[in-house]
Amino acid sequence: MRIGFIGLGIMGRPMAKNLIKAGHELIVNDFNKDAVADLVSCGAKAASSAAEIAAQCDQAITMVPNSPHVRAVALEKNGLIEGAKPGFTLIDMSSIDPVESKKIGAALAEKGIDMLDAPVSGGEPKAIDGTLSVMVGGKKDTFDKYLPVLQAMAGSVTYVGELGAGNIAKLANQIVVACNIAAVAEALTFSKKAGADPELVYKAIRGGLAGSTVMDAKAPMMLAGNYKPGFRIELHIKDLNNALNAAHAINSPVPLTGELMEMMQSLKAYGCEKDDHSALAKYYERISGASIVK
Strand partners, 154: 132
Largest CA distance in the chain: 65
Rounded CA gap, 31 and 250, in Å? 36
| Closest C-alpha to 210, from 237, 179, 231 | 179
Active site annotation includes 170:
yes
Are β-strands 2-6 and 25-29 bridged in parallel, bridged antiparallel, or unpaired?
A: parallel
Rounded Cα distance between 18 and 99, Å, is 30
How far is 231 from 31, CA to CA, in rounded Å?
20
The closest of 36, 83, 32 to 59, measured between CA atoms, is 83
List C-alpha distances in Å: 23 to 15, 26, 45, 57.
13, 9, 14, 16
Backbone phi, psi, residue 16, to 5°: -65, -40
Radius of gyration in angstroms for the set of CA atoms belonging to the chain, rounded to a whole number: 20
E strands in 37-86: 45-46, 59-62
Question: Using CA atoms, how far apart are residues 140 and 157, in angstroms rounded to an integer?
Answer: 13
Q: Which of 170, 192, 238, 282 is catalytic?
A: 170
Q: Give the pairing of strands 120-121 and 132-137.
A: antiparallel
Active site residues: 170
